[in-house]
């Protein structure tokens, strides 16, 4: 799909720099996490913090770590999901991010939550994990492989460091609409503004898993529950930017959506009908295990 898309292919360096500058503003817009929220339906008025925690809990349940186990959090952001996993399961956790700022904030969070003895974060590239083979029981990659054009390479690294029988639980972005949308100029601007890689198709995961030496256990499409994320993120970023200086990376995200001068309520009215129709980008939860 990359070949058809005239977009800027992200690298670990460009992604790391993006989060170094934008993570604080994005995390405050997304309820402390940097990932999609999960809403039960159009009448669910949960705030982003609640909806984001719901998705984290769905991942934690699937990882199913026990207190004696050690989990790798791949693409940890400022650490909220990793610390939540460690708190609720009792497991040890090592998180990695391409962003040094993510790592600094995540380690601060581990200290504040009193779990620094068994939870730590470090800067590393998921395409070249600095850990020995079979050194983790499970891996969780919550909305991080979305930045990696070569999904199989990232999955191979996770498969290498997770012991046989261990689970790999991740979310990824899919391209929902017809292939013609993949060349949509605005879609390309959205990808570029988030330093995202081209989305894949849910069906691709069977082949990805096989090529990475994994057994695929689950692919669940959660687009209907997560599709509210873009609107609430955009509104929160826009409101924040009215009152605070924001880094150029955040301004770029805001500028992708037209009608910047349209009042919030009007924008919501314009956007809501779009949520009833076909989404351009979807979200899947994927679970696989090392045979």
Residues that bind ligand SAM (CB under 6 A): 12, 15-16, 19, 33-35, 75-77, 80-81, 96-99, 102, 125-127, 142-144, 147-148
Question: Closest CB to ligand SAM among 212 and 267?
Answer: 212
Grouping H, G, I as helix, E, B as strand and the rest as coil, residue 123 is strand
Q: How far is the CB of 128 from ligand SAM (least distance, A)?
A: 9
Distances (CA, A) of 174 to 58, 61, 155, 193, 221: 19, 22, 17, 17, 9
Question: Closest CB to ligand SAM among 8 and 260?
Answer: 8
Question: Closest CB to ligand SAM among 148 and 267?
Answer: 148
CA atoms within 13 A on the CB side of 52: 23
Question: Closest CB to ligand SAM among 19 and 267?
Answer: 19
Q: How far is the CB of 213 from ligand SAM (least distance, A)?
A: 20
Question: Closest CB to ligand SAM among 125 and 267?
Answer: 125
Q: How far is the CB of 35 from ligand SAM (least distance, A)?
A: 3
∠ CA(178), CA(195), CA(157), 5° rounding?
Answer: 90
Query: To which residue do tokens 């360096």 refer?
Result: 13
∠ CA(290), CA(224), CA(29), 5° rounding?
Answer: 90
Q: At what angle do helices 12-29 and 100-112 cross, to 10 degrees?
A: 40
Long-range contacts, stretch 106-110, CB < 8 angstroms, 24+ apart:
106/76, 106/77, 106/78, 106/79, 106/82, 107/79, 109/78, 109/79, 109/80, 109/83, 110/79, 110/83, 110/86
DSSP state of 200: B
Q: How far is the CB of 195 from ligand SAM (least distance, A)?
A: 8
Question: Closest CB to ligand SAM among 16 and 199?
Answer: 16
Separation CA 228–CA 272 (nearest Å): 9
Question: Closest CB to ligand SAM among 56 and 279?
Answer: 56
Contact (Cβ atoms closer than 8 angstroms) between residue 181 and residue 175? yes
Q: How far is the CB of 73 from ligand SAM (least distance, A)?
A: 7
Sheet holding 167-175, edge to edge: 119-123, 92-97, 70-74, 138-141, 167-175, 281-289, 215-221
Question: Closest CB to ligand SAM among 143 and 267?
Answer: 143
């Amino acid at each position: 799909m990359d070949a058809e898309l005239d977009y800027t292919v992200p690298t670990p360096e460009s992604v790391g720099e993006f989060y170094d500058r934008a993570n604080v503003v994005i995390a405050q817009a997304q309820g402390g996490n940097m990932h999609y929220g999960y809403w039960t339906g159009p009448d669910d008025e949960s705030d982003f913090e609640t909806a984001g925690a719901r998705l984290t809990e769905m991942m934690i349940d699937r990882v199913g770590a026990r207190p004696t186990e050690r989990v790798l959090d791949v693409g940890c952001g400022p650490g909220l999901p990793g610390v939540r996993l460690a708190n609720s399961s009792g497991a040890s956790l090592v998180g990695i991010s391409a962003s040094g700022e993510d790592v600094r904030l995540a380690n601060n969070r581990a200290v504040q939550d009193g779990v620094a003895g068994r939870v730590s974060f470090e800067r590393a590239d998921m395409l070249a994990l600095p850990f020995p083979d079979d050194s983790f029981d499970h891996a969780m990659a919550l909305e991080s492989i979305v930045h990696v054009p070569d999904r199989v390479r990232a999955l191979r690294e996770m498969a290498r460091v997770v012991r046989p029988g261990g689970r790999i639980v991740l979310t990824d972005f899919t391209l929902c609409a017809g292939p013609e949308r993949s060349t949509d100029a605005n879609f390309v601007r959205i990808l570029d503004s988030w330093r995202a890689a081209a989305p894949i198709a849910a069906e691709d995961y069977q082949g990805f898993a096989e090529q990475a030496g994994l057994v695929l256990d689950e692919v669940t499409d959660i687009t209907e529950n997560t599709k509210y994320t873009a609107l609430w993120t955009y509104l929160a970023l826009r409101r924040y930017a009215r009152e605070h200086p924001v880094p150029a990376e955040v301004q770029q995200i805001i500028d992708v959506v037209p009608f910047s001068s349209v009042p919030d309520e009007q924008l919501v009215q314009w956007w809501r009908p779009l949520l009833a129709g076909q989404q351009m980008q979807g979200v899947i939860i994927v679970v696989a295990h090392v045979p």
